[in-house]
Amino acid sequence: MQEESNPIKNYLFEYIKSSQTIPDLIIGKKFDLIIDEIIKDCYDHIMSLGEKEESLGMLVTGTLHYLLTNALITSQRKITYKEQEIDIVIPDTKTLEKDPKKTLLICIPKSSDIKTIKKKIAQLEKIQPEKENIWVVLSKHLPVEKKSFVASKENNTFSKIIFEIGKFSNIGGTNKFKILRI
């Protein structure tokens, strides 16, 4: 099954491919600087391509998937597990089933409505009993009782997520080769 062409993903990956600095930043494991560069250079254009929250969700998901792959952190994205849609699960649903303590769910709501976000979190809590292992990436700071990151041009905390994931993976023992020495 071939995935549909998406102008946001196409723009993001063309940007990454044509970047003069991202390959060196990948080699240097400077994932926070990659996220900062992508947000700085792509945010406005990507926001103009569609509905703001939907566009931001695609930017965050694409960026995170690209960086997780380059950081050699095992993950699955956009999957359904026990009738719940999960944006990103680290390392995978098999680990979630066997050992939820070693599994991280990342929620990227395509909404800034707090009720919608809390409903999505409550759905994820049904499949992830370790409540602190559900993280949220938001478009602005909102009062959610989860570890959260903000992906925006101002007050961007999303750039720290890869290092936080690396720490989680190393502590949880899922990153067997300790690729990210944090």
Q: Does residue 154 lie in a domain region? A: yes
Q: Quote the pTM value.
A: 0.86
Crossing angle (nearest 10°) for helices 7-18 and 31-47: 140
Residue 1 in any domain: the answer is no
Q: 10 Å Cβ neighbour count for 77?
A: 16
Residue 2 pLDDT > 60, yes or no? no
User: Is it the case that residue 111 has pLDDT exceeding 90?
Assistant: no
* 182 located within any domain: no
Q: Using 50, 70 and 90 to split pLDDT, how confident is the model at 179?
A: very low
By CB neighbour count within 10 A (0-12 exposed, 13-18 middle, 19+ buried), where does 161 fall?
buried
Per the structure, the complete domain to which residue 126 belongs is given by 7-172
For the chain, what percentages of helix, strand and coil (3-state, to nearest 5) are there? 50, 15, 35
88 φ, ψ to 5°?
Answer: -145, 135
Mean pLDDT, rounded, for 134-157:
89
The reply to whether 180 falls in a domain is no
Count of structural domains within the chain:
1
Q: Which two tokens stand for residue 155?
A: 């007050």
149 is a domain residue: yes
Does residue 94 sit within a domain? yes
Report the pLDDT averaged over residues 107-116.
90
d(CA 73, CA 100): 17
162 assigned to some structural domain: yes
d(CA 176, CA 46): 36
In-domain check, residue 144: yes
Q: What is the pLDDT of residue 171?
A: 59
